[in-house]
Amino acid sequence: MFNAAKEDGIALLLGSAYRSYDYQASLYNGYVANRGKEYADTISSRPGYSDHQTGLAVDISDASQANFLSQSFENTAEGQWLHDNAHLYGWIMRYPKDKQDITGYAYEPWHFRYVGVEYATAIYETDPDETFEEYFGVEGGDYAENG
Give the binding range for Zn ion (CB under 5 A) out of 78-86, 103-111, 123-131, 137-145. 103-111
From 59, 62, 78, 130, residue interacting with Zn ion (rule: CB under 5 A): 59
Do the Cβ atoms of 61 and 15 come closer than 8 Å? yes
Select the span of 38-46, 54-62, 78-86, 128-136 touching Zn ion (CB under 5 A). Answer: 54-62
Q: Does 87 bind Zn ion (CB under 5 A)?
A: no
Nearer to Zn ion, 27 or 123 (CB): 27
Quick one: which segment of 22-30, 35-43, 109-117, 127-135 binds Zn ion (CB under 5 A)? Answer: 109-117
Cβ nearer to Zn ion, comparing 5 with 50: 50
Cα separation, 74 vs 82, in Å, equals: 9
H-assigned helices in 15-110: 21-35, 37-43, 77-85, 100-103
Provide the 3-class DSSP secondary structure of residue 23: helix
Identified binder of Zn ion from the candidate list 19, 83, 111, 113, rule CB under 5 A: 111
Provide the CA 103 distance to its chain's centre, in angstroms: 11
Residue 32 identity (one-letter amino acid): V
For 2, 12, 37, 132, the CA distances from 7, given in Å and listed in that order, are: 9, 11, 42, 29
Q: Which residues are catalytic?
A: 108
Kindly state the smallest distance separating residue 30's Cβ from Zn ion, in Å.
Answer: 15
Dihedral angle sign, alpha carbons of residues 93, 99, 104, 110: positive
Of the two residues 51 and 130, which places its CB atom closer to Zn ion in the complex?
51
**Residue 96 within binding range of Zn ion, rule CB under 5 A:** no
Interaction site with Zn ion (CB under 5 A)? 59, 111
